[in-house]
């Protein structure tokens, strides 16, 4: 297979090569995609955590990068990247201009080109393009350490920033996100790799804990006959999740019947509680 990258801010990945087909996930800009067969305007891709069909126009050749400019007469060949650390930010056409090229979403990684501007840095975009982003919206890191290990508080703080974001089946960004997309994204920003779907996350985590042992950062899995939902514990009773039933948004609920945030249906269908960080 040939490797391409996602060329748009966030691309829909569908089960079949058709816009009306189920959206199984999404992929953020510059995420690598192994390309398979094509049908019409669609190409089958394999991501690190999923596979499906994407519109061919949303793919581009991998970004080629040379030196990063770090001073007036100085550059470095180090593999430096800018990692988006805000829920979203804008990519501008010029270092000092207001023309917006596109939005960039949390955890997007782009090669770094120029760090000499006082308030913006220049990044490479797919399609041999470039743009400028606010320094305050990104973290400058080595490619090999783009998601350094952090505490579970990083994961829960990230989740809180998504409160009231719309629920979207297969969503992975601030525009819309689903339950497992939220937990995967939050732990990615804390330096941990989780599978894409809730049942996959459950099976990948070996450390099960009881309700009495539940603490901040644990993942709570729900379901009656199979795992259908996942949430991130904020403490020993409350949790945050992308609710896809009546509320259709990211919200906080509780397993404590005495709490105003109590969610009886979920309380009665807790499948397991797993710890990500021992």
Q: What is the mean pLDDT of residues 108-126?
A: 96
pLDDT digits over 218-245, tens only? 999 999 999 999 999 999 999 999 999 8
Instruction: Report, as an integer, the average pLDDT of 59-84.
Output: 82
DSSP string, 193-260: ---SSHHHHHHH---EE-TTT--TT-EEEE-SSS--EEEEESSSSEEEEEE-SSS-EEEEEES-TTST
Which residues are CB-contacts of 111 (< 8 A; sequence separation ≥ 6)? 63, 65, 79, 80, 81, 82, 123, 124
Rounded mean pLDDT of 184-209? 98
Q: How many Cβ atoms are within 10 Å of 178's Cβ, its own excluded?
A: 27
Mean pLDDT of 132-139: 98
Average confidence (pLDDT) over 116-138: 96
Average pLDDT over residues 115-134: 95
Residue 97 CB partners (closer than 8 Å, separation 6+): none
Same fold, 2-60 and 68-145: yes
| Mean pLDDT to the nearest integer, 80-102 | 97
Per-residue model confidence (pLDDT) at position 69? 75
Of 79, 82, 98, nearest to 90 by C-alpha is 98
Is residue 201 within 8 Å of residue 180, measured between CB atoms?
A: yes
Angle CA 208–160–181, to nearest 5? 60
The pLDDT value given to residue 181: 98
| Position 66 pLDDT exceeds 70 | no
Fold of 68-145: SH3 type barrels. (2.30.30)
Decide the pairing of beta strands 219-222 and 120-125: unpaired
pLDDT score recorded for residue 245: 85
Could you tell me which residues come within 8 angstroms of residue 193 by beta carbon, excluding any fewer than 6 positions away? 187
Query: What's the Cα-to-Cα distance from 112 to each of 22, 115, 145, 167, rounded to whole Å?
Result: 35, 8, 14, 32
Share of residues in the chain with pLDDT > 70 (%) = 97
Confidence of residue 278 (pLDDT cuts 50, 70, 90): confident
Read off the pLDDT band of 73 (50, 70, 90): low
CATH superfamily, region 152-274: endopeptidase domain like (from Nostoc punctiforme) (3.90.1720.10)
Beta bridge partner(s), residue 224 = none
Residue 163 confidence (pLDDT): 98
Instruction: Taking residues 198-219, report their average pLDDT.
Output: 98
Residue range 150-170: average pLDDT?
98
- Say which residue the tokens 């350094």 belong to: 148
How confident is the model at residue 71, as a pLDDT?
A: 75
End-to-end CA separation in angstroms for the chain: 37
Cα angle value 53/164/224 (rounded, 5°): 65
- What is the CATH architecture assignment of 2-60? Roll (2.30)
pLDDT over threshold 80, residue 74: no
What pLDDT, on a 0 to 100 scale, did the predictor assign at position 121?
Answer: 97
Return the domain boundaries, the chain. 2-60, 68-145, 152-274
Lowest mean pLDDT among 78-82, 98-102, 180-184: 78-82
**What is the rounded average pLDDT of the residues 82-108?**
97
Mean pLDDT of the chain: 96
Give the model's pLDDT for residue 248: 97
The span from the CA of 101 to the CA of 77, in Å, is 26
């Amino acid at each position: 297979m040939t490797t391409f990258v996602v060329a748009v801010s966030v691309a829909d990945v569908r089960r079949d090569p058709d816009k009306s087909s189920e959206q199984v996930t999404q992929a953020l800009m510059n995420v690598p995609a192994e390309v398979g067969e094509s049908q019409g305007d669609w190409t089958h891709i394999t991501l690190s955590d999923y596979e499906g069909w994407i519109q061919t126009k949303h793919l581009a050749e991998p970004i080629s990068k040379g030196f990063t400019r770090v001073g007036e007469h100085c550059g470095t060949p180090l593999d430096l990247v800018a990692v988006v650390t805000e829920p979203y930010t804008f990519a501008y056409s010029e270092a000092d201009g207001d023309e917006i090229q596109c939005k960039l979403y949390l955890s997007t990684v782009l090669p770094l080109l120029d760090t000499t501007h006082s308030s913006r840095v220049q990044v490479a975009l797919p399609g041999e393009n470039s743009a400028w982003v606010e320094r305050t919206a990104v973290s400058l890191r080595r490619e090999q350490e783009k998601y350094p290990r952090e505490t579970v508080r990083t994961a829960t703080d990230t989740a809180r920033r998504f409160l009231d974001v719309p629920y979207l089946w297969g969503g992975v960004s601030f525009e819309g996100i689903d339950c497992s997309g939220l937990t995967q994204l939050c732990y990615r920003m804390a330096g941990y790799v989780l599978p894409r779907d809730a049942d996959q996350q459950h099976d990948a985590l070996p450390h099960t804990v009881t309700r009495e042992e539940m603490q901040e950062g644990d993942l709570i899995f729900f379901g009656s006959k199979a795992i259908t939902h996942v949430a991130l514990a904020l403490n020993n009773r409350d949790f945050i999740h992308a609710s896809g039933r009546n509320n259709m948004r990211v919200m906080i609920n509780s397993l404590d019947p005495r709490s105003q945030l109590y969610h009886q249906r979920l309380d009665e269908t807790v499948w397991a509680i797993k710890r990500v960080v021992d």
